[in-house]
Amino acid sequence: MSQELKKLVRRTLESQSLGVLATLDKKNPYENLVAFVSSKDLKNIVFSTAVYTRKYANLKAFPQVSFLVDTRSNSEQDFHECVAVTALGKAKEVGKEERDKILRLYLKKHPYLEDFVKSPSCRLLKIQVKKYIIVSEFQKVQEFSV
Amino acid sequence: MFILPVEEVRENHRLLVGGKGFALARLWARDLNVPKAVCLTADAYRSFLVQTGLDKKILMEIHRKSLDNARWEEMWDTALRIRNLFLHAKFPRDLAHAFREGIDDFFHDTPVAVRSSALGEDSAQDSFAGIHESYVNITGIENILKHVKLVWASLWSDAAILYRKELGLELKKSVMAVVIQEFVPGDCSGVFFGKNPMDGDQSVIEAVYGLNQGLVDGTVEPDRWILRRTDGKVLSHATALRIKVILPSRKGVHLVKLDPKKAQVAPLSLNRVQAVFILGQKAEESFSQPQDVEWTFRKRTLYTLQSRPITTERKDRSKDEKSWYLSLRRSFANLQELQIRIEEHTIPEMISESDTMAKQDLSGLSDKDLADEIQRRKKIYTYWVDVYSKEFIPFAHGFRLFGQVYNDKIHSEDPYEFVELLRPRSMFSLERNRMLQDMAALIKLDKKLAQKMRDGRMEDVKHPEFQKLLKKFLGEYANLQIFDELDSAPLKRLSRILLELADSSPHKQEKKLRIARKPISSEQFLSKFKKEDQDYARGLLDLGKFSYRLRDDDNIYLGKIERQMNRAILEGRKRLKPRFPSRYLKCSDEQIIKCLSDKKYIPTLERQKRTQTQRSVWQARQLKGQPAGKGLATGDARVISEESDLFEFKKGEILVCDAVDPNMTFVVPLAAGIVERRGGMLIHGAIIAREYGIPCVTGIADATALIRTGDSVTVDGFLGLVIIEHRKK
């Protein structure tokens, strides 16, 4: 079962370019759409952001995040077919030692973001995922820890 | 299907090989002596884009800013970046293999022409003639592949983007096929118009010696024959000044002087005129409509190079500024001629004009004569503004052309690296700033001097070195109008700026920046050219440098003339003071002239509408523009709405303005960052920002409305973002 669920998560993450990143702005939640890539073992989700953004400031103050990826198509079918994956974890900047490897992975999925992500005012971050919560078939909720 | 020889092209291949490829196939089928050719299909283009990821990168570039709001300079920047993407993209293995096999087998080492054949190109409705690139006399498979990429890239040139936009074509659906055709080094070439647009009963033939590239881009003037459309009878022959000719060089083509003996004889005999006419008629029969045919004679053989339908009347686009600029794109030869005119005539005339006006004693003129003089000077100024737009603005294409050649040769990842080679040793505005900084340095060292400046007693300063500098500054650069307005003591304003400068260290900033750069030497650039192309390369470098420097200095020459116009207006305004003490400052130029000419005239002032910008709940948080000067800076915004705002400028503030005018560059060393409404990587503000190493973002629409003086603003000169951190309370 757990393998099937992992496959579903992987498939969902690989099928989407953008996910919703939720950070905390003092006491208020704050969300952004970000371009992401996930590692094969599902332990990390990588995204990038410019440094002078609210989300970056929020993450500096409070690194816990929730990250949503879903397959909705804005139609009635979504209630039966849509899969929503929420990853919970902690975001941190990608360290020098692994930057090249992670950057390659990220740019393989988003080659058009090369200029953006290589800019000195941009940061590459990874969410170290603790837990995935998977919602499918409208109300079927499953979860697993990484 | 990636490659299709022209003889295999069928009716259903039109969307695969594009208009030009399709027309060639039809001419081939009619035995109109078309040089052998293969088509690289639209599928090849699409596959290249998808496999290299360029499809998405191009979309990112063209959606960077709405093209409706983009200035021509920004469109050029977009085109430059896309062109560089093509230059750096490597052919995926399977494509390279297919191309090599298909092209190499066909041509081996025969020189070819690599021509654009965009889908929809040269159809009856939309003539793309001259919009996309074609290259001739290209030899060797690697060289051909490189030029295929350049032809593909030309689908995204500023001209092509604009033209498709005007035609209402969807940009993201644009596709380009390419025709690779055996190159015919013709002795005489030209075009045939089946139907003269001026008179439907006539056909026209234009012919030049050598290749027809010079005729197409306007570098070589052609002989012209007007013929009766029904039977080809020659109605008239207009001879050209036959001076130049385009001939094949070892690689490509070059423009040389025409042999004087040949210059005496028309490029076509009457028999040959008839042969071209018959060819044109056959082409018309093939397509059932009048054609625009390119042809060439090689010895006794007449070849058909391409044919396209003559488009119906084009709509008048003269009012469209962007199209106007594009129409001014010039060839290297044109630009060189323009350089000579500007250097030898225009600039000396502008200097002489302003000097003559400067020498005139206006205070000795009667009121009536002064009114006439104001009018005369206004006319002079208008005349030079016109010259400016006709000569100096198109001349900016000099460094653009250089940039394109540089990128082709050097393959730098940074498409703007070429600017490093063009940076002048001196620029007017930088020299002026250096003088201000020298004065500021003296203030910094001398406490008494600083105190006098703070007390507003600049005229009491006895410091000989400072006095000398000040005198020199006012003498040379007093064209800054802001220093001689009526309502404020000019020296007071100057001293405020000097005190701010004394508090900063711009020299250091400049130094730091220079070290951070890795300039490329002229020698390195020139070494990329073969011996026979050295003259061309040197000429291009010279053109680029002059054009780049003029981008800054031309405004200053014009500024000097404007100042002399304003000096006369100022004199007039002063004379009105006793008559209209409460309104003399607010009179328009026309009212001043009327008051001076007619003693009874009383000016009525228009009540100025107070446009109070309603502060809505809506606020801009992050604005997107172009990264025109690298770096990050945060500071309080100083929005320049009028010239007097400049004198409030404090060290470390962010300069927010409509456009950095060369006459306001003196505050730049004080600024931590620059935000400009006017867009472009190579506009004056961006050039100066880079000189001082100041982060700069250009092309922020409504910058001066969305940002307010006092806002805390971050300029991200890497990503082209402006982040408004806090609003002023």
Put simply, the answer to whether A52 touches B721 (Cβ < 8 Å) is: yes
Put simply, the answer to whether B719 touches A53 (Cβ < 8 Å) is: no
Bridge partners (DSSP) listed for residue A37 = A46
Q: Is residue A87 part of a domain?
A: yes
Q: Is B522 exposed, middle or buried (0-12, 13-18, 19+ CB in 10 A)?
A: middle
Res B712: pLDDT: 93
- Closest partner CB to A112 (pick from B57, B718, B721): B57
Residue B694 predicted with pLDDT over 80? yes
d(CA A81, CA B200): 65
Task: Supply the Cα-derived Rg of chain A in whole angstroms.
Answer: 15
- Span B622-726 CATH architecture: 3-Layer(bba) Sandwich (3.50)
**Is residue A32 very low, low, confident or very high in pLDDT (cuts 50, 70, 90)?**
very high
Which residue type does B560 have? K
Residue B352 predicted with pLDDT over 70? yes
Structure tokens, B25: 């196939």
Q: Is residue A123 part of a domain?
A: yes
How far away is chain B from the Cα of A97, in angstroms, using its nearest Cα?
24
**Is residue B516 very low, low, confident or very high in pLDDT (cuts 50, 70, 90)?**
very low
List residues in chain B touching A: CB distance below 8 A: 53, 56-57, 59-60, 622, 630, 632, 714, 716, 718-719, 721, 723, 725
B491 or B59, greater pLDDT:
B59
User: Any alpha helices (H) in chain A, and if so which ranges?
Assistant: 2-15, 54-61, 78-81, 96-109, 114-118
Chain A residues close to B718, C-beta within 8 Å: 119-122
| Shortest CA distance from A107: residue in chain B | B53
CATH of domain B1-183: 3.30.1490.20
Chain A residues close to B622, C-beta within 8 Å: 52-53
Query: Is residue A57 within 8 angstroms of chain B, CB to CB?
Result: no
> Taking CB atoms and an 8 Å cut-off, how many pairs form between chains A and B?
36
Q: Is residue A57 part of a domain?
A: yes
| Shortest CA distance from A116: residue in chain B | B719
Put simply, the answer to whether B56 touches A121 (Cβ < 8 Å) is: no
Residue B132 exposure: Cα atoms within 13 Å on the Cβ side: 33
Residue A48 predicted with pLDDT over 50? yes
Please tell me the least confidently modeled range out of B332-336, B454-458, B523-527, B572-576: B454-458
The parent domain of residue A100 ranges over: 2-138
d(CA B617, CA B691): 38
SS3 B278: helix
Res B587: pLDDT: 85
- Closest partner CB to B56 (pick from A52, A53, A112): A112
Give me the CATH topology for the region B184-310.
D-amino Acid Aminotransferase; Chain A, domain 1 (3.30.470)
Indicate whether this complex's ipTM tops 0.90: no
Q: Is residue A32 part of a domain?
A: yes
Select from A115, A116, A122 the residue whose CB has the most chain B CBs within 10 Å, as the one to mutate to test that interface: A115
Query: Is residue A17 within 8 angstroms of chain B, CB to CB?
Result: no
Place of tokens 């961006």: B686
Which residue type does B685 have? G
Chain A residues close to B725, C-beta within 8 Å: 52
- Closest partner CB to B53 (pick from A50, A51, A112): A112
Tens of pLDDT, residues B91-125: 999 888 888 888 888 888 899 999 998 886 555 45
Q: Is residue A117 part of a domain?
A: yes
Angle between the N-to-C axes of helices B42-52 and B14-29, in degrees from 0 to 180, rounded to the nearest 10:
150
Residues 6+ apart with CB under 8 A from B161: B62, B67, B75, B78, B79, B171
Tens of pLDDT, residues B537-572: 999 999 999 998 887 677 778 888 988 998 999 899
Res B329: pLDDT: 53
Res B130: pLDDT: 66
- The pTM score is 0.79
Put simply, the answer to whether B723 touches A119 (Cβ < 8 Å) is: no
- Closest partner CB to B56 (pick from A52, A53, A111): A111
C-alpha closest to that of B30 among B282, B274, B240: B282
CA dihedral B506, B511, B517, B520 (to 10 degrees): 120
| Shortest CA distance from B634: residue in chain A | A52
Q: Please name the helix (run of DSSP H) or strand (run of DSSP E) that holds residue B18, with its range, or none.
A: helix B14-29
How far away is chain B from the Cα of A116, in angstroms, using its nearest Cα?
7
Written as one string, the DSSP assignment of B517-561 is: --PPPHHHHHTTS-GGGHHHHHHHHHHHHHHHHHHHHHHHHHHHH
Please tell me the least confidently modeled range out of B19-28, B271-280, B293-302, B422-431: B422-431
How far away is chain A from the Cα of B727, in angstroms, using its nearest Cα?
15
Chain B residues close to A51, C-beta within 8 Å: 632, 716
CB B11 within 8 A of CB B29: no
C-alpha closest to that of A121 among B629, B690, B632, B626: B632
How far away is chain A from the Cα of B500, in angstroms, using its nearest Cα?
28
Query: Is residue A80 within 8 angstroms of chain B, CB to CB?
Result: no
Q: Please name the helix (run of DSSP H) or strand (run of DSSP E) that holds residue B701, with its range, or none.
A: none
Q: Where are the domains of chain B?
A: 1-183, 184-310, 622-726
CATH at A71: 2.30.110.10
| Shortest CA distance from A57: residue in chain B | B725
Res B729: pLDDT: 54
Residue B515 predicted with pLDDT over 50? no
Chain A residues close to B59, C-beta within 8 Å: 112
Our separate counts of H helices and E strands in chain B read 29, 21
Res B268: pLDDT: 95
Chain B residues close to A52, C-beta within 8 Å: 622, 632, 714, 716, 721, 723, 725
Put simply, the answer to whether A50 touches B719 (Cβ < 8 Å) is: yes
How far away is chain B from the Cα of A146, in angstroms, using its nearest Cα?
33
How far away is chain A from the Cα of B722, in angstroms, using its nearest Cα?
9
Query: Is residue A112 within 8 angstroms of chain B, CB to CB?
Result: yes
Put simply, the answer to whether A120 touches B714 (Cβ < 8 Å) is: no
How far away is chain B from the Cα of A36, in angstroms, using its nearest Cα?
16
Res B295: pLDDT: 96
How far away is chain A from the Cα of B719, in angstroms, using its nearest Cα?
7
Put simply, the answer to whether B632 touches A122 (Cβ < 8 Å) is: no
Q: Is residue A34 part of a domain?
A: yes
Strands (E) in A39-145, as ranges, are: 44-50, 64-70, 84-93, 122-136, 140-145
Res B580: pLDDT: 83
Residue B385, CA distances (Å) to B379, B382, B388 in order: 10, 5, 5
Tens of pLDDT, residues A65-100: 999 999 999 998 898 899 999 999 999 999 999 999
